[in-house]
Structure 1
């Protein structure tokens, strides 16, 4: 056994000999998430190692064939350039930060052609941006990293990502990135070669449990706040889902049948801020995200985040981040 795709190991899983090899192609975009990429490729390597067979082979494709730099600065070598690639099986787009700036027409065109040829197409972390640009997500279940969902919705208002670890909708698969890529690929291994191999790969990864696709990407708000107060959790969720609306303490009290004083007490006890402070901070964080991840004008961002005016947004943004929204956006794009 001398194959770069079949490393040696002591643990073993019996599988009938002569299994056909699935070729997985990873299209690596600049500033991709290295964690998501390695969390996807390692289960494939381990499946080969455990069985002593080349169940999977893989190739890394970049647009120009040169190494690509991940978001943490690590360079990843390429097997070939996009124009030279032969892609006989599944194609996964690996992206990361600033996903709206790295999807070229060439990348979107490749994804679209591969989909039309009847192959599986996937997106890791923010890879859904490429799938959206290719026009193949309409009416499909998909997801991407939770941090990028608000700017994604602004860029593609007719598409709605799911707040879950990963999604499988026929030949379109996606995950939120990070370790959820391992959960996605464990599922693909299980469907292809059975649950025994998948569970053995899970144990080799020291992955405590194979999480289902429906699980939320973020830990529950109740766990992070240390409370299960139903009224407070409902109010926090309402604020997040209606951030662009005018929200007053009186409105909240009436909507959730709770007094103003009770709301203020709950916030100070569990959130360590007043309702107004929390909502303002929520809006500023959303605004910062939109400045960084979209080409929206500052005035439009101010409106979509629920600020009374552009001046109000700019003033509060400068107070929190020490820089104006315009300067922040320019500096971010120029980085």
Structure 2
């Protein structure tokens, strides 16, 4: 049965367009993020509905043509397996959790072929892993979800993702995922059919604010810390950028422009802990992310987090998370912390 791309609705906007629709091919990686996928697609559907025309058409593919299980456990039907040649237009790889495992070499080879054949290729959330494996991110500006950037850097140290909402670099477009995918969808609508339609789609989607593509994915560091003390913000930013290095309070204080004693007092007043305690929390959180998202060994993770030995890292990790790093998993039931009942 032929797919209908235009749904019936009440609101309407006249759009003067008689050409071919813009084609978007979505490719779902296993455990893809449903929020990123639907946020990218729904603005396109709404654009069709408002105009009463097929301005956009889309297809959804998986590696083998079988339904794909999203990170929320729902199974998504697809139109088929990866075609030898995708429809002209855009190809968007939608990733999610455990991207290193779920971005196959076959998918990377396929997307490289589509790019060489003139398609604009892109990614949502962690789909950038597939683009990196395809070798098409070198010397390009690109992004992915902030949570996955540290693990990505460990795998591809020669590539440097930016923590932005989305990036467009010629025929390579990348998006952080989440609701940022809707902002990318609105960009496509505006570019192809004008800002008036994009604004109307925003209104239909109840979006009241549109970020710039260059905006940071996260709130400011000051907002996250709950303080705008410039010395504290500057010190924390320095700690976050020096996780793997030996920590010297004097170096941090020199960077901030205050004495080491003042740094200690500021951290206790505004963050309720010492700089070393805060740094240890950052390092363990970074280690937890690497264990979840990469195949790095415990020793490699320990080094990447600034620990001098795997045993020291393991002891600290167990104290914080209740399980040894070698047994850690972010899937419930696979590794149960000590002292936690499973009934």
Moved more, 261-270 or 278-287: 261-270
Evaluate the alpha carbon distance shift between residue 25 and residue 142 of structure 1 in structure 2; reply closer, same or farther with a 3 A threshold. same
Aligned to 1:240: 240
Is contact 1:120-1:171 (8 Å) kept? yes
SS at match of 1:250: helix
Aligned to 1:249: 249
Task: Give runs of aligned pairs for residues 179-258 of structure 1, distance below 5 A.
Answer: 179-258=179-258
Is contact 1:298-1:326 (8 Å) kept? yes
Is contact 2:235-2:253 (8 Å) kept? no
Q: Distance in 2 between matches of 1:280 and 1:65?
A: 45
Aligned to 1:268: 268
Question: What CA deviation, in whole Å up to 9, does each residue of 1:225-254 have, x standing for no partner?
Answer: 232211111111111111101112232223
Aligned to 2:102: 102
Q: Distance in 2 between matches of 1:271 and 1:222?
A: 12
Q: Distance in 2 between matches of 1:174 and 1:133?
A: 14
Q: Distance in 1 between matches of 2:328 and 2:224?
A: 29
Q: Distance in 2 between matches of 1:323 and 1:226?
A: 30
Mark the runs of 5 or more structure 1 residues left unpaired by the alignment. Answer: none
RMSD: 1.9
Q: Distance in 1 between matches of 2:84 and 2:134?
A: 20
Aligned to 1:52: 52
Is contact 1:186-1:210 (8 Å) kept? no
Aligned to 1:129: 129
Aligned to 2:68: 68
Q: Distance in 2 between matches of 1:3 and 1:10?
A: 21
Q: Distance in 1 between matches of 2:191 and 2:331?
A: 46
Q: Distance in 2 between matches of 1:36 and 1:131?
A: 17
For residue 153 of structure 1, report the CA deviation from its aligned partner.
Answer: 0.3
Moved more, 297-306 or 37-46: 297-306
Are 2:4 and 1:4 equivalent residues in the alignment? yes
Aligned to 1:283: 283
Question: What CA deviation, in whole Å up to 9, does each residue of 1:93-120 have, x standing for no partner?
Answer: 0010000001122211110000001110
Is contact 1:19-1:53 (8 Å) kept? no
Question: What CA deviation, in whole Å up to 9, does each residue of 1:45-82 have, x standing for no partner?
Answer: 00000100000111110111111110011111111111
Moved more, 207-216 or 262-271: 262-271
Q: Distance in 1 between matches of 2:3 and 2:58?
A: 13
Question: What CA deviation, in whole Å up to 9, does each residue of 1:178-222 have, x standing for no partner?
Answer: 000011111111111110001111111111112110100011111
Is contact 2:142-2:166 (8 Å) kept? yes
Scaled by the length of structure 1, the TM-score of the pair is 0.95
Task: Give runs of aligned pairs for residues 254-333 of structure 1, distance below 5 A.
Answer: 254-328=254-328
Q: Distance in 1 between matches of 2:152 and 2:86?
A: 30
Evaluate the alpha carbon distance shift between residue 16 and residue 227 of structure 1 in structure 2; reply closer, same or farther with a 3 A threshold. same
Are 2:92 and 1:92 equivalent residues in the alignment? yes
Q: Alignment length, in residue pairs?
A: 334
Aligned to 2:166: 166
SS at match of 1:203: helix
Q: Distance in 1 between matches of 2:326 and 2:183?
A: 39
Is contact 2:292-2:330 (8 Å) kept? no
Are 2:148 and 1:148 equivalent residues in the alignment? yes
Aligned to 2:19: 19
Q: Distance in 1 between matches of 2:138 and 2:87?
A: 24
